[in-house]
Structure 1
Amino acid sequence: MLRKPIWQRTYILPTAVAVVSGVGLIFALLGDGIWDALSWLAVGLPVAIAVWVWWQATSIRGKAR
């Protein structure tokens, strides 16, 4: 089985998060009602990912002590 090139493995997830956040900002500017809820979810995605990574890092660090 062939592996993906290193640049694809490195940049695909951050690019997807950036696109989702950008679409969320557009939803917030142009839409109303359900679009507001979708924009909150899309713009909150990077924050949720950051909290999840922080939580994982602190739990790993706590187990190492």
Structure 2
Amino acid sequence: MNATRRSSRQRTLGTIFAVPLAIGLLCTIGLIAALTGDGARDAVSWAALGAPVAVVGWAMRRSRATVQTRRGKSR
């Protein structure tokens, strides 16, 4: 059932690569801000470079919750 649901939903290149491009842009902004200044730019760099770490943590938590939910339903 899941395979048919996944195949029936069509995705464009924009929807596939939107989030990875946004994360890459955020990292680039953070690195440039860290290299070019102090003060407020340091805060911008910390936030911009910490965001991808937060996204990975969120995705891992969501993935684990999905796996636990599927295991609970099959038992």
Bin the TM-score by the shorter chain: 0.7 to 0.9
TM-score normalised according to structure 2 size: 0.74
Identity within the alignment, %:
34
Over the residues paired in the alignment, what is the CA RMSD in angstroms? 1.3
Give the unaligned 5+ runs of structure 1. none
Match of 1:13 in 2: 19
Give the unaligned 5+ runs of structure 2. 1-10
- Following the alignment from structure 2 to structure 1, what is the Cα–Cα distance between the partners of residues 25 and 65? 29
Q: Which has the higher contact order (CA 8 A, sep 6+)?
A: 1
Matched position secondary structure for 1:32: coil
What amino acid sits opposite 1:25 in the alignment? L
TM-score normalised according to structure 1 size: 0.84
Q: Aligned pair count? A: 61
